[in-house]
Amino acid sequence: MNPPPPDTRERILRTAAEAWHAQSYDGVGVAELCRRAQVHKGSFFHFFASKEDLLLAVLDRHAHEIRSWLDAGPFCPDVPPLQRVARFFAGMAEQARQDIAATGAMRGCPIGNVSSELATRIPAVRAATARVFAVMEEVFAQTLREGVAVGELAPDLDPDITARALLAYMQGLAVLGKAFADVNRLDGLQRGIAALLGVPAHALHPPATHAQTKDQRDRPPRATPPRGDD
């Protein structure tokens, strides 16, 4: 009810996620984070025991929110399963295009980036990123299972292994996209997905236009207000 509620903690979390995605964990220090979030250093360490602690909080939030985000967005069951997958990858491509337009570079996957940078150095971070990936894998697998049930996919397709392959392909596209920074490289992307799914390329017809996955200002049905308790 407070007009200017002290969303300090929230601001730090969001700023960190954004900054680390745009650059890297080591590349953005606590001081700059504080500058961007308009928070004083003392306050920062009032909310987070350390920089690493903040990273784990960011990843934890991802792990807890990504499923509902996916379910409400690209994987919303308002279209058949195969189209959801296509819509998800189309969203990725659109995101990449926006990155290029805005900054001339692609930022890649925030989770994949962090994992690549820190998985060997900080075991807890490795585990946290794995948890996020596992959720995505589950969402993929569930969708694929539906696809099999509906008859869009071959009955002998292994949903779990295929989900894993899809996730790998997606991460690889993120890595290559970031390295090449060229949207044209993304052509032929659909073909790979279709191949992994064992369907003809035309089975993944482009979902009309970019779905409105980003204009969601409304509160989701789940009543839990944004609070990063862990």
Q: Does 203 bind a copy of itself (CB under 8 A)?
A: no
Q: Does 45 bind DNA (CB under 7 A)?
A: yes
Q: Which two tokens stand for residue 161?
A: 């292994």
User: How many CB atoms neighbour CB 5 within 10 A?
Assistant: 8
Helix axes 51-72, 123-150, angle to 10 degrees: 10
| Smallest separation (angstroms) from a copy of itself to the CB of 191 | 6
| Smallest separation (angstroms) from DNA to the CB of 1 | 9
Q: Are 208 and 161 in contact (CB under 8 A)?
A: no
Q: Does 51 bind DNA (CB under 7 A)?
A: yes
Which option in a copy of itself, DNA, none does residue 40 bind, with CB closer than 5 to 8 A by kind?
Answer: DNA
Indicate the Cα dihedral angle 213, 219, 222, 226, nearest 10°. Answer: 100
Among 31, 49, 76, 179, binds a copy of itself (CB under 8 A): 179
Distance CA(130)–CA(134), nearest Å, equals: 6
Q: Which two tokens stand for residue 63?
A: 């792990």
Helix axes 159-180, 189-197, angle to 10 degrees: 170
Distance CA(56)–CA(51), nearest Å, equals: 9
Q: Residue 139 is which amino acid? A: V
Task: Give me the 135-164 binding string for a copy of itself, x by CB under 8 A, dash otherwise.
Answer: -----------------------x--x--x
Q: Are 58 and 37 in contact (CB under 8 A)?
A: no
> Which region among 16-24, 25-33, 183-191, 217-225 touches DNA (by CB under 7 A)?
25-33
Site for a copy of itself in 86-145 (CB under 8 A): 103, 105-108, 111-113, 115-121, 123, 126, 129-130, 133
Say which residues have a Cβ less than 8 Å from residue 64's Cβ, sequence separation at least 6: none
Compute CA 189 distance to the chain's CA centroid, rounded to the nearest angstrom.
18
> Which region among 32-40, 97-105, 126-134, 141-149 touches DNA (by CB under 7 A)?
32-40
Q: Does 183 bind a copy of itself (CB under 8 A)?
A: no
Q: Does 42 bind DNA (CB under 7 A)?
A: yes
For a copy of itself, the binding residues (CB under 8 A) are 22-24, 26-27, 103, 105-108, 111-113, 115-121, 123, 126, 129-130, 133, 158, 161, 164-165, 167-173, 175-176, 178-181, 185, 187-188, 191-192, 195-196, 198
For DNA, the binding residues (CB under 7 A) are 5-6, 8, 26, 29-32, 39-43, 45-47, 49-52
